[in-house]
Structure 1
Amino acid sequence: MRPPGPFREGFFRSPIRGPVLTGILGSILLVLTAIVALTGFLSHIAYMPDLPGNAIVPKDRDFPLTFDWPTSPSWLYALTQGLHTNVGLVVIPFVLAKLWSVFPRLFVWPPAKSPAQAIERLSIALLVSSTIFQLATGVANAQYWYPFKFNFVVAHYYGAIVFVAALAIHVIVKMPMVLRVYKDREWIKPIRQDLDEPTISRRGVIAFAGAGALTLLLGNVGQSIGGPLRKTALFAPRRDSGFPVNKTARQAGITPAMVGDDYQLVLRAGQRVTSLTREDLLALPQHTARLPIACVEGWSTTQEWTGVRLSDLRRRAGASEDATVLVQSLQEAGVLRRASLSADQLGADDAMLALKVNGEDLSLDHGYPARIIVPALPGVHNTKWVAQMDFNREART
């Protein structure tokens, strides 16, 4: 017997629900989610592969899905992460519209008529749950709000794998229906149902979802483009600052005394140790470049940086040209934060240990007395308050 309520036939009366609307929305979402998934995996490759405590897939020359993130063009990470965060927001209204269009399918009876159908419905359950999880945690991360207790990076990565696997199964199963909708041109046919005039058409649903997507895009994209448009990013937590700061010196536990007259940058290459004061660094040949810096939350900004090329520091340390480096920053009352750079990243022409920005000394919040700036790398690798650089030291723990 069929249970009462929403399990009864005819309980859901909207005439626009059905394969046509679902197929159109699914086609839109397939393109959008492909962009989000691709840029997300690229962001992981650029952002986290060697950071201690966050490595998921070991960076191995024999592993085909990892590589050293390039340093050119300089806006590469700003573009990929800007697409990831902004297209991710655009996806939300279309996901809600598609869930509305298939909502009655949750109450089909019996729930599965065969093992094959049971597997299909399980894949849909995984797809829906992983989609909600990815979007919810992604938005929370972009807003610097962490109500969850797990590691966002690791959870978001594995959630993406579940999502992509479930999506692949769903596309394979549903693609014949979608192709039939377009082949028969059903998407342009008028609604012909036994019910009276609907309150909204299929085009209206798609337009409504599109308007919501456009609203979210306009309220956030300014932080990715930067400049005067940053103030239009009403949904972004960093819209009021032309040069955003993710973590202030106070939050990181950095005090003026820790970076005062006694500050020294330590360079290590094997048994060789070189110490440089900030005055020593300023006496070295200086390089100036206008470079963007972008963060995983989606914001980016372009500033003029001045400092010592990392390749010059590598030579000064006595390291070889194929050396990598582990950069250590003094944070949180003596706890070292670390990020690694490859040989190619070290050797990039504009890669530098920045001492000034826009002609002025770095502020304490922006990394005084010295911070790393490498073109096209995510902000997490542009280490602030640099205390030590260990060349050829293993970066993973």
Structure 2
Amino acid sequence: MVRTPRSTLPSDPRFWRSPLRGPWFTSVLGLVLLAGITLVFATGLLSYAAYNPDLSPVNDKTPDKGLLGFYLFDWPTDPHWLYRLTQGLHVTVGITLIPVLLAKLWSVVPKLFALPPVRSAAHALERVSVLLLVGGALFEVATGVLNVQLEYLFPGSFYRLHFYGAWVFIGAFAVHVALRLPQAVRVVRERGLRDPAADPAAPPAPRPAYDAGARRPGPYGGADLVSPDPAEPTLSRRGALGVVGAGSLLLFATTAGQSFDGPLRRTALLAPHGGAEPGPGDFQINKTAAAVRIRRSDTGPGWRLRVTGPRGEVRLSRDALLELDLHEAALPIACVEGWSTSDQRWRGVRLRDLAALAGYADDPPDVLVESLQRRGSFRRAALRDNQVRDPRSLLALQVNGADLTPDHGYPARIIVPAAPGVLNTKWVSALTFGSLR
């Protein structure tokens, strides 16, 4: 057997000797990513819509989005667990796909160094799409994981970076899918989902002949992933997929618990938003009163809620609010970082009743909510008229049969069905009803 000469240059196919690389291995990983990334991107778009960015500048963290906001719609309040589901899927599936993504990048790394860099217009388009695809994928993973780990301490504007990075990535992803999906489907259809090399009855895969003068695999062309001089295998392709699957399963097991209560939440080691307090407030706290610089004097007996509308400004103490008609709603809290709570029992004044107090008795409008917090995003947030009208939307004063604690928003907080956690404003100081568009 004639061995091909070795090379130390990554541009030479002989440099990449792993026998695992090949069309089948890459195609299987690619099809998994196609399904997973489509789900992650769709739920990401839904997350952006849930902030109602067209409602008010205070909600819009990407004001220069232009045509990228073509799909936006008024976010509904039913089902009340909608954001809990979509954002939980977005974060959990995104993290679970990391080993698959890294394995896919490893499987095609010889292509990134192939020479000549451009052989035709179609090849140039593919190379550009791959560059944007790889860069965009790594950027989205990095910003997403950093946001989950660092909360509002994220270095820079997470919303802007993640939003525009997602569109760059998905554009390159769409081009790559259009170019490569037919080949991936054909390979898997012909060889099945089982590792063809694991079948002793299967004929051996042809090995590309190496043209030393052209410095590229002869009959297969530069696009082939099979090494012309493979090393001895230490793991089958099926075993490699098993390793990738085990890594994804481990990440899933250490992330998914953030969407559940009880012992499962303690398994969410990669989603460290689990701080709670004993008693009725024993559910997750994202921002504490100390972290956003709420002083004890801000929420003491002198606190007043300012309610503004056509009738002017009304100031209400907490005792005055407790004397109004109080209602209960069982609603979760779900955050952009992917964590959520089960339904908590909230008690307070309906937002539509406060709108009537401000002068909107028949058709409650949008409302601007202001918080006492001195740092962090969404110190001011807007809610749509459909959210104000919903009878479950409350200015909550109590939760689970007890007064709110300082870290849960005492003296009063917003709770709205299906809304992202940051729109459920804590430490509310003012409500201004009226057109915000």
TM-score normalised by structure 2 residue count? 0.84
Partner of 1:313: 354
Partner of 1:43: 47
Partner of 1:181: 187
Show CA shifts across 1:250-272 (max 9, x none).
11121111111111111111352
SS at the partner of 2:150?
coil
Partner of 1:217: 252
- After superposition, the Cα gap between the structure-2 partners of 1:298 and 1:334, relative to the gap in structure 1 and judged at 3 Å, is closer
Gaps of 5+ in 1: none
Partner of 1:290: 330
Distance of 2:377 and 2:24 partners within structure 1: 57
Gaps of 5+ in 2: 1-5, 199-203, 208-229, 277-281
Deviation at 1:334, TM superposition (A): 12
Distance of 1:125 and 1:334 partners within structure 2: 35
- After superposition, the Cα gap between the structure-2 partners of 1:274 and 1:336, relative to the gap in structure 1 and judged at 3 Å, is farther
SS at the partner of 1:275?
strand
Deviation at 1:246, TM superposition (A): 1.6
Paired residues of 1:330 and 1:336 also in contact (CA < 8 A): no
Q: Which residue type is aligned with residue 386 of structure 2?
A: D
- After superposition, the Cα gap between the structure-2 partners of 1:132 and 1:317, relative to the gap in structure 1 and judged at 3 Å, is same
Partner of 1:161: 167
Partner of 1:93: 99
Partner of 2:367: 325
1:239-318 maps to which residues of 2 (within 5 A)? Answer: 239-241=274-276, 242-270=282-310, 272-302=312-342, 303-318=344-359
Show CA shifts across 1:158-197 (max 9, x none).
0010011000000000012112113322554226356575
- After superposition, the Cα gap between the structure-2 partners of 1:333 and 1:4, relative to the gap in structure 1 and judged at 3 Å, is closer
Deviation at 1:213, TM superposition (A): 0.6
SS at the partner of 1:10?
helix
Deviation at 1:240, TM superposition (A): 4.9
SS at the partner of 1:111?
coil
What CA RMSD, in Å, does the superposition of the two structures yield over aligned residues?
A: 2.5
Match of 1:201 among 222, 233, 236: 236
Distance of 2:130 and 2:376 partners within structure 1: 48
- After superposition, the Cα gap between the structure-2 partners of 1:26 and 1:138, relative to the gap in structure 1 and judged at 3 Å, is same
**Identity value in percent:** 48
Distance of 1:148 and 1:375 partners within structure 2: 27
Partner of 1:75: 81
1:10-159 maps to which residues of 2 (within 5 A)? Answer: 10-47=14-51, 49=53, 50=56, 52=58, 54-56=60-62, 64-144=70-150, 149-159=155-165
Paired residues of 2:356 and 2:364 also in contact (CA < 8 A): no
Deviation at 1:357, TM superposition (A): 0.8
Paired residues of 1:296 and 1:379 also in contact (CA < 8 A): yes
Distance of 2:377 and 2:119 partners within structure 1: 58
Distance of 1:289 and 1:124 partners within structure 2: 49
- After superposition, the Cα gap between the structure-2 partners of 1:227 and 1:291, relative to the gap in structure 1 and judged at 3 Å, is farther
Partner of 2:225: none
Equivalent pairs counted in the alignment come to 392
Distance of 1:88 and 1:180 partners within structure 2: 27
Show CA shifts across 1:186-238 (max 9, x none).
55422635657521122112111111011001101111123331111122212
Deviation at 1:51, TM superposition (A): 5.3
1:314-393 maps to which residues of 2 (within 5 A)? Answer: 314-319=355-360, 320-332=362-374, 337-393=379-435
SS at the partner of 1:305?
strand
Deviation at 1:312, TM superposition (A): 0.8
